[in-house]
Amino acid sequence: MSGTETTETTNLTLVQAVRDALHDEMARDDRVVVLGEDVGVNDGVFRATEGLYDEYGAERVIDTPLAESAIAGTAVGMAAFGLRPVAEIQFMGFIYLAFDQIVSHAARLRTRSQSSFNVPLVVRAPYGGGVHAPEHHSESTEAMFAHMPGLKVVIPSTPYDTKGLLTASIRDPDPVIFLEPKSRYRASREAVPTDSYTVPLGEAAVRREGTDVTVFAWGGMVAPTLEAAENLAEEGIDCEVVDLRTISPMDVDTIVSSFEKTGRAAVVHEAPYTAGMAAEITATIQEESLLLQEAPIERITGWDTHYPLYASEDFYRPGVTRIEHGIRNAAGF
């Protein structure tokens, strides 16, 4: 952590931590503006922007039409000309309409203009399942954005990290995709400093020390992975759990050092199996530490199909039982 001067804290949920970071940065920097569908008068679909409209007014908390491409395009223009926009896409499943603006403009403008322009833009979106939402509301397509040069992709798993990572993202000089696990929005509370602080982008966190298998996860998969690790400890399997926190850029040093400690690994994510981030992590480990590898790396993921309606959600999304099974495979090979 950096940038905080007091130890005073308050217990916040993850979504309250989002709101806290937005409030603090808007108070600190007049250039920070929030825009998106229902973020103003209605306080946001999940209340992530609650009270901001009343405090900062319609010029800095801007309700937009239902037009994701326009939200992203407007934010790119704002950022290029000196503002610090934080654009909200209500659900990740609707972000495809903004994809061209994000990839063709936000991610490229610095390179295209030879650094005459940069784009200090944050695109926030709730992602992932676990809340029995309709179609298009539970997407987990973070790998698409991680593949794009010029974008950072940040995914917090705790309230503390959410405030610090979002603050760091808003202060970053280049575009950041900030994906919030909505299954964790109100799942727990944590002591969060009342003062502003940052958590550095690109640094993973070791959530649990272990010696037998390293398990990599992020966002909504960290909590069930930690629960699985505690259950497996009773069977004598000691897991180390690494929360990536930022998947682009990835913290390769922490990934490799943890794997070299255990020699066995599993990766857990909600996204489909094929070409997901687990494949990239697996390839990275094999490039860096092949001779220390004791077992095939397990990929515990969603399936290669569209995210299902909620009746099948618990089958699609990795849960504690499936995570435990994958880890046992890695440990027992």
Q: What is the mean pLDDT of residues 61-83?
A: 97
pLDDT for the residue numbered 7: 80
Residue 137 among the catalytic residues:
yes
**In 213-276, alpha helices (H):** 222-233, 252-262
Work out the average pLDDT over 174-196.
97
Contact yes or no for 69/42 (Cβ under 8 A)? no
pLDDT tens per residue across span 85-129: 999 999 999 999 999 999 999 999 999 999 999 999 999 999 999
At residue 302's C-alpha, the angle toward residues 300 and 307, to 5°, is: 170
Q: For residues 130-153, give the mean pLDDT.
A: 93
- Residue 178 and residue 154: Cα distance in Å, rounded? 5
Element (H, E) at 166: helix 159-171
Q: What is the pLDDT of residue 247?
A: 97
Question: In terms of Cα–Cα distance, which of 78, 237, 243 is closest to 154?
Answer: 243
Condensed to tens digits (0 to 9), the pLDDT of residues 268-289 reads: 999 999 999 999 999 999 999 9
Res 4 pLDDT > 70: no
Exposure b/e, 134-158, CB count within 10 A at least 16 = b: eeebbbbbbbbbbebebbbbbbbbb
- Which DSSP category does 107 fall into? T
How far apart CA 201 and CA 209 sit, in angstroms, is: 22
The pLDDT score that the predictor gives to residue 6 is 59
CB environment 259-298: b (16+ within 10 A), e (fewer): beebbbbbbbbbbbeeebbbbbbbeebeeebeeebebebb
In the predicted structure, residue 1 carries a pLDDT above the cut 90: no
Question: Per residue in 14-52, pLDDT tens?
Answer: 999 999 999 999 999 999 999 999 999 999 999 999 999
Q: Which of 20, 69, 19, 65 is nearest to 44 (CA)?
A: 19
What's the mean pLDDT in 141-168?
98
Token pair recorded at residue 329? 């495979």
* Rounded CA separation 275/269 (Å): 12
Q: What is the DSSP letter of 311?
A: G
Spot the catalytic one: 23, 132, 136, 137.
137
